[in-house]
Amino acid sequence: MFKDNRFISYNAAGFQKDMIAGITEGIVAIPLGMAFAIASGVKPEYGLYTTIIAGFLVALFGGSRFQIAGPTDAFIPILLAIVLQYGYEDLLIAGMMAGVFLLLMSFLGVSQLIHFVPRSITIGFTTGIAVIIFTGQLGNFLGLTGLSNHEFFHENIAGLINQIHTINGYSIVTALIGLAVILLLPKIAPRIPLLLVALLIPTIVSFLFFPGQVETIGSAFGGIPRTLTSFHLPHITLSKLITLWQPALIIAALGAIESLLSAVVADGMKNGEKHNSKKELFGQGIANLITPLFGGIPATGAIARTATNIRSGAVSPVSGMVQSAFVLGFLVVFAPYASFIPLASMAPILMYVAWNMSARHAFVHILSLRSSDSIVLLTTFLLTVFINLTVAVQIGILLAALSFLKKMSGKLAIVPQKLSDVEKLKFGDGGKTVRKFAIDGPLFFGTAKRFEESYPKMLLEEESVVILDLEHLAMMDATGEATLFAMLDEAERKAIEIKIKRLPKEKTAILKRSGLNNKIGKENFFM
């Protein structure tokens, strides 16, 4: 179905490079997989299952040579909202539905439409997600007890304030050690896997010096099994499909945007590389359809980890498959030891990820423009934080569309022009008054009212001739056609002849289909 050129000229040397890159990626994926799962309101092992299964399937079926897929930070707020509102079982169904939507996107070839999402929207919800992730880890950083996750941001902040009296000094020390590692290790030893070390050192310190004083994965979730979960088909009903289609579509759209952006970043890092967008969405669809059958949560391409994969020397999708195998090996061998990991050691890791994903510089830049983009950005950001991502994206796109229509409505210009000598001789016989107007810009539903209001100016004198120069007519939709029809009817009542000059060839077919061609008359077209 899709031609795969990603393994052309693959050899033993390439496999060796992929092994190194895959193991490096696996080391990075382990703490992130668990952290993202916990932040999404599910058990940490589900993040590992997602890394193993989705990572392997996207590498096998995807359209990018270097894409690394798995659970990502961008999904955290929407997955948490689904878990809180519907439960883990319905999250699996939503993930499978998202997989179906991604497959439909691939087959329908809508991958190019993703690029039409305004940057103000993507920056707005990305920064909003970063704020939610960052503040969501304050409880673990401070070691607060008695907290519960809520659907809305203000409720979670209120919970933090109400439970501030339960602050745990040992948790703060653990988190600060992890934060210090994150800030200092890149300067001292940049080649060492940062996030794994930032997880291990505070874990070892807490285990040796104050055991049992901070909450761990074991105390919170009962430990991590040493095997993959068995195949399980969620209980799917029509009512659940109707209820979950909207969050599933948001997961699919967000996953498509993230994965294609990640693939574009990979192309840019490897000059001459070109991913296959349709195949990439196909791979993401397969991964999200199958992963929930084994307990995994929705996944997409991870930009930062894909970049790490390339920097580690990867040459093919085999590196992604090696990553999955490495994480599976960790699960089988070391899963029991993961029970000792303090939640406080995961807090600075997620805060670090949130800080890096926040797009704060782009946010400030767009906001400083004080334009319609600034309004779209701020609205999308605030709705993401205080309501949810689904509403934010919908309202953001609506505002962006209205802004676009407003800008386009100002693009239509109806300009009086001087007649040429030829036009005076040709149409001015019998003492008729001849007037000419250039229609410059789009004639569509956003500009139709403006065009209609120009009738009195153009159809001024009865029994005259009006020339419409359409050389620069950018586009015309059904509303534009109807408005032009109405103008012709008005001209007919006043016995005014309408002549069409320099109609672009591509617009001729539109006039023929609508019947305007016949109404105007073939003899009334000229160049």
Report the distance separating Cα 157 and Cα 454, nearest Å: 55
**pLDDT for the residue 324:** 95
Mean pLDDT, rounded, for 274-292: 92
Higher pLDDT, 141 or 453: 141
pLDDT over 70 (residue 1): no
Closest CA to 80 of 117, 129, 45: 129
Question: C-alpha angle with apex 394: 391 to 395, nearest 5 degrees?
Answer: 85
**pLDDT for the residue 338:** 87
Question: With contact defined as beta carbons under 8 Å apart, do 287 and 275 qualify?
Answer: no
Closest CA to 425 of 526, 518, 494: 526
Instruction: Report the share of the chain in percent with pLDDT over 90.
Output: 35
Mean pLDDT of the chain: 88
Residue type, 434: V
Task: Tell me the pLDDT band of 164, cut-offs 50, 70 and 90.
Answer: very high
**pLDDT for the residue 459:** 86
Alpha helices in 270-370 (DSSP H): 277-290, 303-311, 318-334, 343-357, 360-368
pLDDT over 90 (residue 238): yes
> Three-class SS of residue 501?
strand
Place of tokens 């386009």: 408
pLDDT over 80 (residue 469): yes
Task: Tell me the pLDDT band of 2, cut-offs 50, 70 and 90.
Answer: low
Report the distance separating Cα 294 and Cα 296, nearest Å: 6
Mean pLDDT, rounded, for 521-526: 84
**pLDDT for the residue 476:** 83
Higher pLDDT, 3 or 481: 481
User: Any residues with CB less than 8 A from the CB of 105 and at least 6 apart, and which?
Assistant: 111, 252, 256, 281, 285
Report the distance separating Cα 506 and Cα 522, nearest Å: 16
Chain segment 348-361, per-residue pLDDT in tens: 998 998 898 888 89
Chain segment 385-412, per-residue pLDDT in tens: 998 877 888 898 888 888 877 777 767 8
Mean pLDDT, rounded, for 481-494: 87
> Three-class SS of residue 69?
strand
Does the pTM of the predicted model rise above 0.85? no
Question: With contact defined as beta carbons under 8 Å apart, do 455 and 487 qualify?
Answer: yes
pLDDT over 90 (residue 311): no
Mean pLDDT, rounded, for 194-212: 91
Task: Tell me the pLDDT band of 3, cut-offs 50, 70 and 90.
Answer: low
Strands (E), 330-484: 413-417, 434-443, 465-469, 473-476
Residue type, 224: I
pLDDT over 90 (residue 194): no
Mean pLDDT, rounded, for 373-386: 92
Residue 48 CA: distances (Å) to CA of 73, 90, 179, 291: 14, 19, 23, 11
pLDDT over 80 (residue 121): yes
Task: Tell me the pLDDT band of 190, cut-offs 50, 70 and 90.
Answer: confident
Question: With contact defined as beta carbons under 8 Å apart, do 343 and 39 qualify?
Answer: no
C-alpha R_g of the chain: 30
